A and B are shown apart, each in its own frame.
Chain A
């Protein structure tokens, strides 16, 4: 099975070297993180909080998971390397007593995503992992398993000692054969993230947009001081664009303008062909007045656009229930279609 299909129908395994990990220990850990995270750090032991790292100008520097591990915090980040992430944390420690350990030196990451990823993972780690709630993690079997993911499907990120990573990867592929597990590279994962409206620090994050424009206000607080808070308050008032999800039957290109009646109203910032949908999916930064779902009047180059309420898929994972279903009996179950009829996703009929 190809990666794009496996990610949406069964499960796919990948080397997630793009995810950096550090551990922060010491009495000052909370204070330092509180200064770095634009989102309130409401996170209990064993749980994961999705937040950001911002630059002073409020542009996202990294897509960040904060994991409360007893008195320590584990950070998982995209957008920074392990050493750079560790350095960033240290640089903002101030007078706080902390130690920052770059976990990527001795560990590697494996991703496992798909509507039946839980079943594949249970083959490896036992049935207890099935009950692991989204946004939580545990240590066991010589690795740390994070129940996270940016595909819209059941997802795990496994942090494994480097000397074991090859054998574990091989084991996952081997056990996964019965589940038609494929190998997913970063491009395949990024495409899933795009289809499911996950912020991609390498795409949307490569623009000059602020969290306000990126519809990431759920990850920021306007009541606290943190790195980037001053600029964020300013840019909140100045936000003129908003990220918008678009699809087209014709090719969409990153960097291409979005136009309406001959006027440029925005720019495509992330685009790719969706194997699952059979059309092109993109995110675009569009003038706020125009940035709404349910419109079929925009174009990008020669490609007519339709704007959607995100996400672009009706993920199978919404319906796969570990108590009812199994990959091996998937044909007996009736699941809704992966792509909903247009009327249900607010897509207009072409005018």
Chain B
């Protein structure tokens, strides 16, 4: 059983968890007129900014460090009793620090790790507005796999003029403070950061910490529907929540509260309500469902963790967080939106937090009161590499591989990844039928958004001005749009996430998901890199490589491990031990980008098929190392 033993928050209502708690109980939102920046052609801007007057640069990192430090301090960990290499960090961020001239995403992660003295695996998740929710899910998997004894997970995002202008162009911003499930339509953007310290309950109790909440399960799912609009039937949200409930072993009827994504937009709210009706059935009719976006605004990648912290605070005091600014119920929205000025008393010990994002990503968490007992995790299952695919040319016609797929709107990164994934599915001789689609996931590693898309985006701003930036390019300015486009083309609607960094880490994460989850049969995982045609860097290569992981096959993913940047030996030892093989000579990729390590694993799979000898593949980046052992099936049985 995993619990939260520390929390930290920086949000539009103030810095620190205490400020968040005070605002929640006072019913005081953090939404104000924007003073930090102006955009020609857009008047009367409203947002939930943390700081009104500051230099835009570095804010995301600053918020992240503040929130992570608060969480870490409140957990009261005695550093002498815990080696730094057993502490992990997972940071979720939608845009890193600046959309216009992006800092590498991993810089934020590396900085927080340095500030807190973390030497275990430090991973970066970027799935737009589900980033921190998915980061916490990944943290739970890291703990379950034994990669760490304690994980700090959460997310951080800053609101920049580009983001504001992008949402404005999409026409999804409210003219008033965001009023989820009510009128008028539209959301209010925000910024901030939140972090949670996660560890096993026994460990927390042993060291005298106070568990704040229990983490019972998480779920991920792809819509495979559209770049920015949710599947109107709520399919992806429903799969993410159902997956989280199944992982938790919790009956839907036991859930006493749902903290919804509830952006307030015309498309999100009814799709989400439909998903809740699908998952909860009759129970949905009386289930309290509220949206904390009415309190904090939409803090993008940090939204999920901040809403989780709201839920933890409320559950501890046995109240339901309210939906502010609610005037009149919209059709097809929750029956009980907790539309009161202040939190409403209630008795419950299980809650769901759910988020959805551009790129069709959905993520959900099931939490409980610290004392609840969860079903034991189901037995781990074997994972196999069923198929592999790699591509180095972006000139492949997707239509030739997937004849029903329209190539329109795919940037070079998406084309590369989709091609590699399609080749891997082909190699696996998998034809995804409808029911298979919902149970086939996609975990992608990327280094950044497509440079071609970034260039298109910058050009549109330069030539037309911020207020008229390209909405099409903006929708692709989140790293998970690459995997999202691939999922849409190939119909991969199962667990879905995007990591910044090595493709090998994505594959190891996918293996871990598949080993301990019941809601997926296959996961396509790998990495992609695209050369920036405008500013090519020496030694840079482009390509994509994917594997299809499944529950049968001739090559077994026998062992895998993720460790800290200086802990490659530990990763190798754990992966070999899990695989039951003696230490092997590792195959090490020449470049620490996203696709090369995945391509090495593709080669390794082919080698195992050919020679039947086990192979070890490793990768090292500035924030993490990873090792995967492949064995031939007849050998290990």
- Docked-complex contact B434 and A40, CB < 8 angstroms: no
Asked if A174 is an interface residue, CB under 8 A from chain B, the answer is no
B491 within 8 A of A: yes
Known contacts A45-B491, A127-B332; A323/B404 CB under 8 A: no
Further pairs besides A30-B403, A132-B233, A322-B332: 20, Cβ < 8 Å: A40-B399, A42-B404, A42-B406, A43-B404, A44-B488, A44-B491, A45-B434, A46-B434, A70-B433, A71-B431, A128-B274, A128-B277, A130-B270, A130-B332, A131-B270, A131-B271, A321-B266, A322-B270, A323-B269, A324-B331
A326 within 8 A of B: yes
Interface size on A, residues (CB 8 A): 23
Residues on the B chain within 8 Å of A323, using CB? 185, 266, 269-270, 330-332
B405 and A42 within 8 A (CB): yes
CA distance A323 to B437 in the complex (A): 30
Instruction: Check if B233 sits within 8 Å of A131, measured CB to CB.
Output: yes
CB 8 Å contact bits of B466-504 with A (1 = contact, 0 = none): 000000000000000000000010010000000000000
Q: How far is the CA of A34 from the CA of B400 in the complex (A)?
A: 13
**A295 sits at the interface (CB 8 A):** no
Contact B331 A322 (CB under 8 A): yes
Bits for B232-256, please: 1 = Cβ < 8 Å to A, else 0.
1110000000000000000000000
Shortest 6 CB-CB distances between A and B: which pairs?
A131-B232, A42-B406, A70-B434, A323-B331, A131-B233, A323-B330
Binary flags per residue of A137-172, CB closer than 8 Å to B gives 1, else 0: 000000000000000000000000000000000000
Q: How far is the CA of A68 from the CA of B266 in the complex (A)?
A: 28
**How far, in Å, is B229 (CB) from chain A's closest CB?**
9
The distance in angstroms between the C-alpha atoms of A310 and B434, with both chains bound, is 38
Q: Which A298-324 residues have C-beta < 8 A from chain B?
A: 321-324
Chain A residues with CB below 8 A from B234, complex form: 131
CA of A130 to CA of B232 in the docked complex: distance in angstroms?
A: 9
Say yes or no: is A41 at the interface (Cβ < 8 Å to chain B): yes
Distance in Å: Cβ of A247 to nearest Cβ of chain B:
33
Interface pair A326/B399, CB less than 8 Å apart:
no
Candidate in B185, B232, B277, B488 with the most chain A CB atoms within 10 angstroms: B232
Given contacts A40-B406, A132-B233, contact A71 B433 (CB under 8 A): yes
Q: Cα distance A139–B234 when bound, in Å?
A: 16
A132 to B437, CA, bound (A): 19
Q: Which of A44, A45, A133, A324 contacts B232 (CB 8 A)?
A: A133
B167-213 contacts to A, CB under 8 A, are: 185
Give Cα A127–Cα B232 distance, bound, in whole angstroms: 12
Q: Which residues of A contact B (CB under 8 A)?
A: 30, 34, 40-46, 68, 70-71, 127-128, 130-133, 321-324, 326
A44 touches B433 (CB 8 A): no
The residues of B that contact A128 with a CB separation of less than 8 Å are 233, 274, 277-278
Cα distance A46–B274 in the bound complex, in angstroms: 18
Instruction: Give the residues in chain A near B403, CB-CB below 8 Å.
Output: 30, 34, 41
Instruction: Please provide the chain B residues from 500 to 533 with a CB less than 8 Å away from any CB of chain A in the complex.
Output: none
CA distance A324 to B233 in the complex (A): 18
- B 440-462 binary contact with A (CB < 8 Å = 1; else 0): 00000000000000000000000
Q: Which residues of B contact A322 (CB under 8 A)?
A: 270, 331-332
CA distance A198 to B466 in the complex (A): 39
Q: Which residues of A contact B332 (CB under 8 A)?
A: 127, 130, 322-323
Which residue from chain A places its CB closest to the CB of B226 in the assembled complex? Answer: A133
Across-interface contacts of A43 in B (CB, < 8 A) = 404
**B interface, size bucket:** 20 to 34
Chain A residue contacts of B434, Cβ below 8 A: 45-46, 70
In the complex, the chain A residue whose C-beta lies closest to that of B270 is A323
Q: List 5 A-B contacts (CB under 8 A).
A: A40-B406, A42-B406, A43-B404, A323-B266, A323-B332
Chain B: CB-nearest residue to A73 = B404
Which residues of chain B are within 8 angstroms of A40 by Cβ–Cβ distance? 399, 406
**Least Cβ distance of A314 to chain B in Å?**
21
Q: Are B404 and A41 in contact (CB under 8 A)?
A: yes
| A131: B residues at CB distance < 8 A | 232-234, 270-271, 274
Nearest CB in chain B to that of A71: its residue: B433
Is A30 touching B233 in the complex (CB atoms < 8 A)? Answer: no
Task: Provide the B322-362 mask, 1 if CB < 8 A to any CB of A, else 0.
Answer: 00000000111000000000000000000000000000000
B405 proximity list for chain A (CB < 8 A): 42, 44
Within 8 A of A (CB), among B394-415: 399, 403-406
Query: Do B233 and A44 touch across chains, with their CB atoms under 8 A apart?
Result: no
A210 to B331, CA, bound (A): 46
When chains A and B are docked, how far (Å) is the Cα of A324 from the Cα of B182? 10
Task: Give the chain A neighbours of B330 by CB distance below 8 A.
Answer: 323-324
Cα-based distance from A16 to B234 in the complex (angstroms) = 30
Query: Could you say which residues of chain A place their CB within 8 Å of the CB of B232?
Result: 131-133
What B residues does A42 contact at CB under 8 A?
Answer: 399, 404-406
| Chain A proximity mask over B264-283: 1 for CB below 8 Å, otherwise 0 | 00100111001001100000
What is the distance, in angstroms, from A196's C-beta to the closest C-beta of chain B? 23
Q: Which residues of B contact A132 (CB under 8 A)?
A: 232-233
The CA of A72 and the CA of B185, in the complex, are separated in Å by 39
Question: A30 and B404 in contact (CB under 8 A), knowing A128-B277, A130-B332, A323-B331?
Answer: yes
In the bound assembly, the distance between CA atoms of A70 and B270 in angstroms comes to: 26
| 1/0 contact string of B621-635 vs chain A (CB within 8 Å) | 000000000000000
CA of A68 to CA of B434, assembled, Å = 10
Q: List chain A residues, Cβ under 8 A from B277.
A: 127-128
Residues of B within 8 A of A326 (CB): 331
List, in ascending order, chain B residues with CB within 8 A of A34's CB.
403
Residues on B with beta carbons closer than 8 Å to the beta carbon of A324: 330-331
B432, closest chain A residue (CB): A45
Q: Which residues of B contact A70 (CB under 8 A)?
A: 433-434
Provide the residues of chain B in CB contact with A30, threshold 8 Å.
403-404
Q: Which residues of A contact B233 (CB under 8 A)?
A: 128, 131-132
B3 to chain A, nearest CB (A): 37
- CA–CA, A8 to B277, complex, Å? 32
CB neighbours (8 Å) of A321 from chain B are 266
Most buried by B among A40, A130, A323, A326: A323
Known: A130-B332, A322-B331. A68 touches B431 (CB 8 A): no
Which residues of chain A are within 8 angstroms of B331 by Cβ–Cβ distance?
Answer: 322-324, 326
A59 to B537 alpha-carbon distance, docked (Å):
54
CB-defined contacts of B431 to chain A, threshold 8 Å: 71
Once the chains are docked, how many angstroms separate the CA of A68 from the CA of B278?
Answer: 24
- With contact pairs A322-B331, A323-B266 given, residues A44 and B274 touching in the complex (Cβ less than 8 Å): no
Question: Which of A44, A71, A321 counts the most chain B CB atoms within 10 A?
Answer: A44
Contacts of B269 in A (CB 8 A): 323
CB distance from A322 to the nearest CB of B (A): 7
Question: Please, how many angstroms separate the alpha-carbon atoms of A322 and B332 in the complex?
Answer: 9
The CA of A25 and the CA of B500, in the complex, are separated in Å by 42
B404, A68: Cβ atoms closer than 8 Å? yes
Name the A residues within 8 Å of B491 (CB-CB): 44-45
- How far is the CB of A280 from the nearest CB of chain B, in Å? 38
Set of chain B residues within 8 Å of A44, measured between Cβ atoms = 404-405, 488, 491
The residue in chain B whose Cβ has the minimal distance to the Cβ of A127 is: B332
Most B C-beta atoms less than 10 A away, residue of A42, A68, A127, A132: A42
Taking CB as reference atom, which chain B residue is nearest A69?
Answer: B434
A116 to chain B, nearest CB (A): 13
Q: Which residues of B contact A46 (CB under 8 A)?
A: 434
User: Within residues 261 to 306 of chain B, which ones have a CB less than 8 A from any CB in chain A?
Assistant: 266, 269-271, 274, 277-278
Q: Which residues of A contact B278 (CB under 8 A)?
A: 128
